[in-house]
Amino acid sequence: MELRRLGSSDILVPPLCFGGNVFGWTADEATSFRLLDGLFEAGFNFIDTADVYSRWVKGNEGGESEAIIGRWMKARGNRGRIVLATKVGADMGLGRRSLAPDYVRTAVEASLKRLQTDHIDLYFSHWDDPETPFEDVLATYEELIKAGKVRLIGASNLSASRLFEALAVSAREKLPRYEVLQPEYNLCEREGFEAELEPICRRNGLGVVTYFSLAAGFLTGKYRSEADAGKSVRGREVVGKYLNARGTRILAALDEVAQARGATPAQVALAWIMARPSVTAPIASASRLEQLPDLLAAAELSLTTAEVARLDAASDWKG
């Protein structure tokens, strides 16, 4: 398995990142431990989470995913072999998103405590905070990096213009820059990344770690009719958003390539992202242990130029 570099850093990661948003939500702690064990034993050590996971579940307050990961790493004694990404800036009870310096300083300490570690490998600004100047945001991250609490910073859900501005501030003020972007990107959602964000990432050598890489499960092929909406907690939303003429074309192309390669649609959809030169790794998650091999096998699936072209054509967004 070929390791990939995160931006211009010396941090190397496998071509697939495991999404921890399921921990404390659709995967309880025991299941989460089994998933993490299976992931680690297969040689995958890149895990993504956030302080807000999974605050949306009744009875949760946020931080449940981080706490589960922290207890797992402590139980296994493997923190030094894990590349750990988490995020700050989502609404954790303020009623708004914030990257204010004092808020970030408090939030990072809470994340470190839940994760039972003294440092975070990759710390993302989860959402933009236009009220806090980039100068202040990046200066706060510089403090955390100098203190050894954070190794690398990244940004998620940032528009192209705001990413460009953040990079300009870093260069002008000689502050740490966002080394990694985490955008939504998959066969169904291409334009948001490819049109403007991707050129900035490539020009500046940024790493890219994509979320919703399987379009909330649509690209696994389990949603093929309105009747399939009941297959998950987000099924109705997924069917309403993606089960249309374009979505059907994409599924047909995935089926065609998957059948020819003896693979699954999910493996092909993830391999398509991995084949994108600008992408470091897609994020994908599993709620059940039997789903894990399907994800991990994608890292060994190398698509041909013709197969990528077939999927590109089926998912074309330029008209």
Burial bucket for residue 305 (CB in 10 Å: 0-12, 13-18, 19+): exposed
The single residue listed with the structure tokens 């859900």 is 157
d(CA 219, CA 1): 23
C-alpha 204, offset from chain centre: 20
Is the Cβ–Cβ distance between 238 and 232 less than 8 Å? yes
| Phi and psi, residue 5, nearest 5° | -85, 140
Helix (H, G, I), strand (E, B) or coil at 46: strand
| Phi and psi, residue 79, nearest 5° | -55, -40
Straight-line distance from the first to the last Cα atom of the chain, in angstroms, rounded to the nearest whole number: 36
Helix (H, G, I), strand (E, B) or coil at 230: helix
Is the Cβ–Cβ distance between 206 and 200 less than 8 Å? yes
53 has catalytic annotation: yes
The single residue listed with the structure tokens 């570099």 is 5
Active-site position among 53, 103, 178, 211: 53
Active site residues: 53
